[in-house]
């Protein structure tokens, strides 16, 4: 049985004070039967780490550079994240792929650096509207999964795939339960081919893209949907916690 994993992805939002407040409110109310994480902006990670200390919330980061130190102006490395208590890190989010133009080779290096350092890597995949409309969805997802190297990633507990259709992120337009389940099942099947069926049955696959309290139960109850990566709705304690509660009730 895969424990559901709900991760709040704060993106480039909030202030130091509001980050601490939000983290404290979430820490007070999380259930035991769901994994809950939050990924603040880099500059607030340390403050948030103190705010949630002693709780079982997993601290996360939104991005990282793949080298482990050195002359890389402006970048942050995995050892720095570990130093602050970070447990998971995103890689390949569509905003980085499409706005920051991160190519597949860079995403691949980041995911492997995160995994190899002992953290949980959340590898994000998702098609644009144009790709969906031209029936390219499954090809795009397969190619993004092939950025992963089975010879490096051997522990299914530390690999999470986030399926985030680009057209559903921050748009209020959400994938239907059937659309989400179809792609999630395809992701699991592709992972089974790349690794093996047992490994695939243990990897958690999160849905992301306008996931909110109103649609959480329907999406999270799909057989291959093992949690959510939440942007907008993670910025308020009550909406984030109500998604967490929906996951807990299904667990």
**Which residues are the active-site residues?**
93, 164
- Residues in contact with ligand PGA, total (CB under 6 A)? 13
Distance CA 228, CA 7 (A): 6
Question: Which of 48, 52, 64, 169 forms a contact with ligand PGA (CB under 6 A)?
Answer: 169
CA distance linking residue 101 with residue 28, whole number of Å: 38
Contact present, 92 and 62 (Cβ < 8 Å): no
25 CA to centre of own chain: 21
Q: How far is the CB of 73 from ligand PGA (least distance, A)?
A: 26
Report the nearest approach of ligand PGA to the CB of residue 162 (Å).
Answer: 7
Q: Give DSSP secondary structure letters for 127-184.
A: --HHHHHTT-HHHHHHHHHTTS-TTT---GGGEEEEE--GGGTTTS----HHHHHHHH
CB-side exposure of 142: number of CA atoms within 13 Å? 10
Q: Of residues 81, 230, 241, 248, which one binds ligand PGA by CB under 6 A?
A: 230
Q: Does the protein bind ligand PGA through residue 231 (CB under 6 A)?
A: yes
Q: Which is nearer to ligand PGA, 156 or 232 (CB)?
A: 232
State the binding string over 205-224 for ligand PGA (x if CB under 6 A, else -): ---xxxx-------------
Report CA-CA distances (Å) from 230 to 110, 139, 143, 234: 21, 25, 24, 6
Q: How far is the CB of 51 from ligand PGA (least distance, A)?
A: 22
Is residue 37 within the footprint of ligand PGA (CB under 6 A)? no
- When asked if residue 170 is in the footprint of ligand PGA (CB under 6 A), the reply is yes
Tell which one of 6, 8, 9, 102 touches ligand PGA (CB under 6 A).
Answer: 9
Among 36, 38, 229, 247, binds ligand PGA (CB under 6 A): 229
Give the residue with the Cβ less far from ligand PGA, 60 or 208: 208
Cα separation of the two ends of the chain? 9
Which of 56, 22, 59 shows the shortest CA–CA distance to 235? 22
Q: At its nearest, how many Å lie between ligand PGA and the CB of residue 214?
A: 13
Binding positions for ligand PGA, rule: CB under 6 A: 9, 164, 169-170, 208-211, 229-233
């Amino acid at each position: 049985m895969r424990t559901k994993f709900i991760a709040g992805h704060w993106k480039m939002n909030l202030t130091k004070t509001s980050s601490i407040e939000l983290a404290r409110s979430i820490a007070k109310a999380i259930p035991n039967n769901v994994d809950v994480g939050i990924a603040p902006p880099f500059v607030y990670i340390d403050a948030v780490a103190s705010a949630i200390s002693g709780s079982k919330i997993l601290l996360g980061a939104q991005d990282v550079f793949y080298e482990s130190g050195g002359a890389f102006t402006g970048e942050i490395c995995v050892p720095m994240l570990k130093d602050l208590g970070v447990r998971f890190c995103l890689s390949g989010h569509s905003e980085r792929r499409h706005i920051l133009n991160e190519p597949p080779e860079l995403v691949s290096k980041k995911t492997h650096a995160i995994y190899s350092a002992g953290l949980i890597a959340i590898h994000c995949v998702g098609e644009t509207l144009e790709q969906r409309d031209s029936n390219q969805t499954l090809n795009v997802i397969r190619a993004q999964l092939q950025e992963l190297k089975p010879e490096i990633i051997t522990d299914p507990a530390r690999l999470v795939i986030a399926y985030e259709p680009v057209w559903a992120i921050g748009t209020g337009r959400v994938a239907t339960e059937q659309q989400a389940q179809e792609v999630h099942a395809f992701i699991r099947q592709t992972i089974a081919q790349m690794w093996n069926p047992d490994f695939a049955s243990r990897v958690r696959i999160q849905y992301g893209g306008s996931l909110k309290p109103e649609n959480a139960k329907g999406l999270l109850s799909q057989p291959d949907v093992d949690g959510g990566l939440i942007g907008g709705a993670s910025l308020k304690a009550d909406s984030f916690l109500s998604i967490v509660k929906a996951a807990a009730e299904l667990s």
